[in-house]
A and B are shown apart, each in its own frame.
Chain A
């Protein structure tokens, strides 16, 4: 009886984890190329983008992930559940098996914003204090 109660509790916890995912990015915001036809994303939709489950925006434009190594590691972990090394390995697996394109890298926040502004379909996590010129900030619900 007690073990059945524990099993039920575990199942409820798993269901709750799937249904009430709330995202708060530490010191970072999500930006996209102005041509991307969305203004907000759910936490799950953002995770699907960062893990390659969603590869195209609604209009068919490819999602181009851009990253800033070392500067937004905590936010990346919060957004997709992987630390920077795991994220890199994950995308190497997809890219070298012909199933995706590796994220583009920038050296600093200004370069990242410029890259997102000039690349169709680009999305990125940037430090919250970065100057956001030529990009749109996406609200994460």
Chain B
């Protein structure tokens, strides 16, 4: 059976299941009188992206693109005391990334010794900031697109899950609130058709370079949340160390030049978050600073290390008018090099930054159906990546429309 036939059957089956569920209730699979049931939840999303000037996120958004879809089914059970098992299958398509290929999003088991300490093992969603572990979940936010400098839709294979383990817990600080933590470590496995691989292919596809493959890498991190005594107000800090992410490519200019490159990047990130839920309002702000230590090996000979830093931030506010209507706005900036925020050292200055103001409207006609529409005014081109599709770039502002609907159960 071809991949596309399998994919369409999978999507149709998932859609039928969700629509048949109707009430938005989870499915329960009862295993017997002494075992708790397995809970099943799922969703399917279809989006549309259109931009006035550049192809961004999906292919050919200048003409409008429906290549913006997601679907997932998850199952969870508490089979034994203090034990939780959960797994989620996921497929998505954003431009030429994902392409509906079904993948295991996470599959983990955790044991909670007490509120203050638990352990989790398996393929786990990586906590970082407010949205990293749930960036696929359209239901869990007001906007269609998260701020892309911080939560890039195309990089989910890089940022989403690790194979490894974590320790977690919540420490009650009594009069001054509480502290939640999760420290993790494991391996990131990258697909050769994933977002990072596509980015590298786009940048290394012109002869004489020839992209070969990306390699998995170990990653460690920590997410802390300080829950203040004020209801709904919390502050977060995350640290991430991605060790030796690497990729290989060749440079061949026959008959004399044949070079084999092995490029390695060690990324260290610091991520600050603040969130305040006040009545029908949700306020959020986040800042991320990343430093990249890069070096090449050319035909096995190690070159000197180069160091670069990027940063990105956003502020957002959302207001829920009633059960079925919510509006939100955010403003975000992303810089490809903190030492050159205007991109003045780049051939195309606008590749040094991207600034995005977004207005979102979310409608929940039922508890299991969400519809969103969103407008963006963007200046800068730092996050376009696909320079071949956007050969002429500049600092003038451009608009983007994002529409999305999600069914869930």
| Residues of B with C-beta under 8 A to A141 | none
Majority SS at the chain B contact face: mixed
Q: Is the CB of B177 within 8 A of A18?
A: yes
Which candidate, A30-38, A47-55, A123-131, A132-140, is the interface stretch facing chain B?
A: A47-55
| Residues of B with C-beta under 8 A to A114 | none
| Residues of B with C-beta under 8 A to A82 | 232, 277
| Residues of A with C-beta under 8 A to B228 | 14
| Residues of A with C-beta under 8 A to B277 | 81-82, 86
Q: Is the CB of A93 within 8 A of B174?
A: no
Q: A92-B139, A98-B108, A102-B39 are in contact. Are A62 and B176 (CB under 8 A)?
A: no
| Residues of B with C-beta under 8 A to A104 | 26
CA distance A53 to B72 in the complex (A): 26
Q: A92-B140, A97-B125 are in contact. Are A53 and B88 (CB under 8 A)?
A: no
Q: Is the CB of A62 within 8 A of B25?
A: no
CA distance A96 to B41 in the complex (A): 8
Q: Is the CB of A93 within 8 A of B140?
A: yes
Q: Is A8 among interface residues, defined by CB-CB distance under 8 A?
A: no
How far does the Cβ of B164 sit from chain A's closest Cβ, in whole Å? 14
A74-97 CB contacts (< 8 Å) to partner B: 81-86, 89, 92-93, 95-97
* Interchain residue pairs A-B with the least CB separation, the first 4: A60-B81, A18-B229, A81-B231, A62-B78
How far does the Cβ of B340 sit from chain A's closest Cβ, in whole Å? 36
- Choose among B81, B127, B170, B367 the residue that contacts A61 (Cβ–Cβ < 8 A): B81
| Residues of A with C-beta under 8 A to B175 | 15, 18-19
- Choose among A14, A54, A59, A101 the residue that contacts B78 (Cβ–Cβ < 8 A): A101
In the complex formed, the residue of B with least CB distance to A60 is B81
CA distance A48 to B170 in the complex (A): 10
| Residues of B with C-beta under 8 A to A102 | 26, 39, 41
A13-52 CB contacts (< 8 Å) to partner B: 14-15, 17-19, 48
CA distance A21 to B136 in the complex (A): 36
Q: A69-B367, A102-B26, A102-B39 are in contact. Are A96 and B81 (CB under 8 A)?
A: no
Q: Is the CB of A15 within 8 A of B229?
A: yes
Q: Is A71 among interface residues, defined by CB-CB distance under 8 A?
A: no
| Residues of B with C-beta under 8 A to A53 | 115, 170, 178, 180
Q: Is B87 among interface residues, defined by CB-CB distance under 8 A?
A: yes
Q: A19-B175, A69-B367 are in contact. Are A96 and B140 (CB under 8 A)?
A: yes
| Residues of A with C-beta under 8 A to B87 | 98
Q: A82-B277, A105-B25 are in contact. Are A96 and B229 (CB under 8 A)?
A: no
CA distance A56 to B110 in the complex (A): 12
Q: Is B60 among interface residues, defined by CB-CB distance under 8 A?
A: no
A15, A61, A95: residue with the most chain B Cβ atoms closer than 10 Å: A95
Q: Is B187 among interface residues, defined by CB-CB distance under 8 A?
A: no
Q: Is B86 among interface residues, defined by CB-CB distance under 8 A?
A: yes
Number of B residues, CB within 8 Å of A: 52
Q: Is the CB of A56 within 8 A of B112?
A: yes
Number of A residues, CB within 8 Å of B: 35
Chain A residues proximal to chain B, CB less than 8 Å: 14-15, 17-19, 48, 53-56, 59-62, 69, 81-86, 89, 92-93, 95-102, 104-105, 120
| Residues of A with C-beta under 8 A to B176 | 14-15, 18
Q: Is B302 among interface residues, defined by CB-CB distance under 8 A?
A: no
Q: Is B342 among interface residues, defined by CB-CB distance under 8 A?
A: no
- Choose among A48, A61, A83, A89 the residue that contacts B140 (Cβ–Cβ < 8 A): A89
- Choose among B112, B137, B178 the residue that contacts A93 (Cβ–Cβ < 8 A): B137
| Residues of A with C-beta under 8 A to B133 | 93, 97, 99
A14, A19, A61: residue with the most chain B Cβ atoms closer than 10 Å: A14
How far does the Cβ of B166 sit from chain A's closest Cβ, in whole Å? 10
Q: Is B76 among interface residues, defined by CB-CB distance under 8 A?
A: yes
Q: Is the CB of B112 within 8 A of A101?
A: no
Q: A18-B174, A86-B277, A101-B76 are in contact. Are A95 and B41 (CB under 8 A)?
A: yes
Q: Is the CB of B39 within 8 A of A56?
A: no
0 or 1 for each of B76-87: is its CB under 8 Å from A? (1 = yes): 101011101011
CA distance A93 to B132 in the complex (A): 10
CA distance A15 to B175 in the complex (A): 5
Q: Is the CB of A96 within 8 A of B137?
A: yes
| Residues of A with C-beta under 8 A to B231 | 81
B39, B88, B140: residue with the most chain A Cβ atoms closer than 10 Å: B140
Q: Is B282 among interface residues, defined by CB-CB distance under 8 A?
A: yes
| Residues of A with C-beta under 8 A to B282 | 86
Q: Is B323 among interface residues, defined by CB-CB distance under 8 A?
A: yes
CA distance A116 to B111 in the complex (A): 24
Q: Is B5 among interface residues, defined by CB-CB distance under 8 A?
A: no
Q: Is the CB of B112 within 8 A of A55?
A: yes
- Choose among B74, B81, B320 the residue that contacts A56 (Cβ–Cβ < 8 A): B81
CA distance A61 to B367 in the complex (A): 29
